[in-house]
Structures are given as C-alpha cells and as structure tokens.
Amino acid sequence: KTGFQIAIDGPSSSGKSTVAKQLAQELNYIYLDTGAMYRALTLAALQAQVSADDIEGLKSLLANISIDFAKAENGLGQKVFLNGQDVSQKIRQDRVSQAVSAYSARKEVRQDMVARQRRFAESGRGVIMDGRDIGTVVLPDAQVKIFLTASAQERARRRYAENQAKGYSKTSLAELQADIERRDAYDSNREESPLRQASDAILLDSSDLTLAEVESLILAEIKKKL
C-alpha cells in the first residue's frame, strides 16, 4: 500500500533537499534524502577501503551496512546513521562529495539503494524523496514529479553561502563550481540511471527564484493532484 508520492530530482545544490524538507514538514509526509544514502555508502566504503571498482567488496559492504534516518531536534531535516553511528556531518565532507559519484555509478550500489528507498514508500504514508532518479526509477508512478535545476554558477554561489554560514569549509567559489560541474557531468553521463528529467516531470529553473517561490510553485502542483 502506497501513499501520495512526490519526486524531486535535479543536479546537486539546486535546492532540492531544502525545499523537500519544508514540504514534508508542511504536509506531514516522510522525507527521504536519497543523496544522503549514497553519501553514507560512500563513507562506509572509504572507511573500509573498498574502491568503487571492487564490485565484490561493494557487494559485501552493502550486505552489511545499515542506513537509518531520524528527525533532527529542530524538526526540519534529518540525522543520518551509518551502522548506528550519527554520520550527518561526516557525509558532507569534501572527501565524500568527491568520491560519491563514482560509487553511485555502480549498478550493484544503485539496485541496493533503490530497494531500500522503495521500502520507505511502502509505509502507506505520503513520501517526498529527492535525488537524481526518483521520478525515472525509484518512484515511476509518483503523482507529482519535479525536475529542479539552476545554473551551475548560481548553485555554486548558494553552496558557498551555505558553507560560510555553517563555517565548515574552506573551499573557494571557483572550486565549488568546478566540483558541481564535474558531478553534473558524471551523474548525467553514467550508464546506470543517469540524471535526466522524467517525461512527466515539471521543469523548474530556480536560478532567479527564492526558495519560498520554488516551494509555493511545487505546493501548487501538489494541490492540483491531492
């Protein structure tokens, strides 16, 4: 039995997770940050020194890790647990961001993650997931599909401001933009479920929109289908 499903896909730093979190809060839906799951797997692999080419190593890693979420104290957003340990901060480290695309390009990794993600949608409650392949692969029957983009320059600018505010990165604006462009290319050109807009998804370019504007546009789409 599945509840109402909302899929938000798009490139990194397009604002997907911020908007998805707020919508989930407003609608009282389950929110799933699928990028955090790929990041947690990547962290586990880096810790166990399993390279992205080591398929057997990846398979046994996947068979043995647990990835769980818990609501953050502020109500917004989530804590991410890898094998029971809170890795919410660690999965945002540069070394994870730099390695995650290579691991998430692996078919074995994707099949395992997609199966985990679908289980969240089976609770009967409404779900909102953000990622790269939610509308195309994970939830092909989602009632609302959004493809959220913004220019690489604007996304780098936002990520930079976010880092400054959190005070946990020394990465320059130019480096951030280069990393965003590299990940876009990697995610869009991989063989296994590349980043692409589902044919029935609504395209939203947020370059010149505020988060509040993006949120109300998506909410309007949801209300049409509820």
Task: Please enumerate, by residue number, every residue annotated as part of a binding site.
Answer: 10-18
Any contact of residue 155 with ligand C5P (CB under 6 A)? no
Q: Write out the two tokens for 69.
A: 């979420």
Near ligand C5P by CB under 6 A: residue from 187, 201, 204, 222: 187
For the CB of residue 12, give the shortest distance to ligand C5P in the complex, in Å: 4
For the CB of residue 216, give the shortest distance to ligand C5P in the complex, in Å: 22
Instruction: Quickly list DSSP for 26-74.
Output: HHT-EEEEHHHHHHHHHHHHHHHT--TT-HHHHHHHHHH--EEEEE-TT
- Strands 144-149 and 5-9 turn out to be parallel
Site for ligand C5P in 82-121 (CB under 6 A): 100-101, 104
Of 29, 156, 39, nearest to 92 by C-alpha is 39
Site for ligand C5P in 120-139 (CB under 6 A): 131-133
Neighbours of 176 (CB within 10 A): 23
For the CB of residue 197, give the shortest distance to ligand C5P in the complex, in Å: 14
For the CB of residue 174, give the shortest distance to ligand C5P in the complex, in Å: 19
Of 58, 55, 12, nearest to 35 by C-alpha is 12
Contact set with ligand C5P (CB under 6 A) = 12, 34-35, 38-39, 100-101, 104, 131-133, 183, 187
